[in-house]
Amino acid sequence: MHIAIIGTGYVGLVSGACFSDFGHDVVCADKDGAKIDALRQGSVPIYEPGLEDLVRRNLGGRRLTFTTDVAAAVRGAEAIFIAVGTPSRRGDGHADLTHVFAAAAEIGEALTGPAVVVTKSTVPVGTGDEVERIIREVAPGIEVFVVSNPEFLREGAAIEDFKRPDRIVLGAEDERAVEVMREVYRPLYLNRAPLLFTSRRTAEVTKYAANAFLATKVTFINEIADLCEAVGADVQDVARGIGLDNRIGSKFLHAGPGYGGSCFPKDTIALLKTAQDYQAPLRIVEAVVQVNDSRKRAMGRKVIRALGKEPRAKWAAVLGLTFKPNTDDMRDAPSISIVQALQDAGVKVRAFDPEGMEQARPMMPGVDFCSSPYEAAEGTDAVVLVTEWDVLRALDLGRIARSMRSPVMVDLRNIYPPEEVEAAGLSWHGVGRSPRTVAGTD
C-alpha cells in the first residue's frame, strides 16, 4: 500500500518506519526542512532504541521517503495519517489542535480522489468529526472517510509496541474505511494482533481513558508508598502482593517520584477539560493530577531532609533526568521539579543522564552537568537516583561512597537493596520502605 504520514515527530516517525518495514510504501511529510534533510540522510532527531537503524534500512530499501511537500505525499495515498503534535494549550490545558486542523486543510487541498484519513495524533473526542468537516469543506464532492487510530506506544519500547501490539483500536464509521485499515495492518495478522473496531468517538475516548487509568495506578502506588513509610511496611512487597492478582496486574505499580513525559500529564489534563465541557466530572482523574503534581516537589523535600540540617551550600548529585529510561524526553520529568526544589533550598546540584542532558540544560540553569555518575557524585553530600537507567543499576557503591563528602543515597526508584547500600558505607533513603521492613534483614 501507499501510505502518507503528516508529521515526523515521535509518533509519525515511528509509525512511518514500522509501516515501511512491513513492506508498505511510506512517505513522511513535515514542514521542518532541516529535519527532513537530516532524515533523508538517516539521522534521527530523537533517541529511541532501534529507530535509526530501522529508518536507514527502509531508506535504503526505498520503502521510506521524506518530503516537505504535503501535496506530493498525499497524492495517490490509500491511507493518510495525521501524526502532528497536540500539546496542552496555554491558558486552559485543552489539547491544542491547531496543527491537526491545519493538516486536515492541507490534505483536503491536495486530494484528487477518495481517501481514508487517519488521526494518529492524540485528540479529544469529536476531533474526527471536525477533521472530516474541514476536509469536506476544502474538497467538496470528494469522498473522505476519517478514522481514529490512537497510538499506544511506550517511549523506549515503541518499535516493539508497534510491531507486537496488545491491541489496535480503530474507530471507523464506514465499511470502506474498515477494509483499508485491515489492509494497512494485515502484516500483523501472523502475530494475531487484535483489531478492535469501534465508533470514531469511542476510539478517541479509549486513548485518553487508557492513559488516565495507567496514571491512576502510578499515583495510587505512590500514595500507598507514603503510607508504608508511615507505618513501617514495604511498598515493594505490597505492590507484589496486589500485582499478582490478575484483576490488578503488576505493571505500573512501581513507587517513585511521580509520572511525567509527553502523554500522561497532558492527556489527563485534556481529558479533564473535555469532561468539564460535557459536564461529566472525573473526580478520580482530578485527584490523580493534583497528587502527582505535589509529589514531584515532595520528592525534592525528601532529599532536602536527607541532607540534614542547614542544606544551603550542600551539594546533591542527581542521577537520571529523563522522565523514564531509554528516551531523551524531558517533558514534565520529575527531575525538573526535584532540582528546582533543591535549588530553592540553596542546594547546589550536579547531574548525569545517558541521553537527556542536552535537553535538560535549558530547563535546569545553574546545574553542573557531568560526564559520568561517578564524576557527578564526587564531593557531594547526597546522591539522588531519579531515573532507573540500566547504567545506574550496577554502580560501584563503594567507589561512590568514598568519593562523597557526606555519603547519603536517596533512591527514589528503589533500585538498590538498603542493606547493599549501607554495606557500601552509604546512608540509605528509599521510597515506601526502610531497612527494617525488607525481608531477610535484621
Residues carrying an active site annotation:
263
CB 311 within 8 A of CB 319: no
Q: How many helices (H) and strands (E) does the chain have?
A: 17, 14
Residue 337: is it exposed, middle or buried by C-beta count within 10 angstroms (0-12/13-18/19+)? buried
One-letter amino acid of 252: F
* 3 state DSSP class of 35: helix
One-letter amino acid of 176: R
DSSP conformational letter for 153? P
Q: Which residues are registered as beta bridge partners of 411?
A: 385
- H helices within 244-333, ranges in order? 264-277, 283-306
Residue 255's nearest CA partner among 193, 334, 177 is 334
Q: Which residues are registered as beta bridge partners of 170?
A: 197
Q: Can you give the length of the chain in residues?
A: 442
**Can you read off the three cell numbers belonging to residue 40?**
533523508
**Can you read off the three cell numbers belonging to residue 429?**
533513603
Taken in order 303, 306, 309, 312, is the CA torsion positive or negative? negative
CB 354 within 8 A of CB 391: yes
**Can you read off the three cell numbers belonging to residue 340?**
528546582
CB 42 within 8 A of CB 56: yes
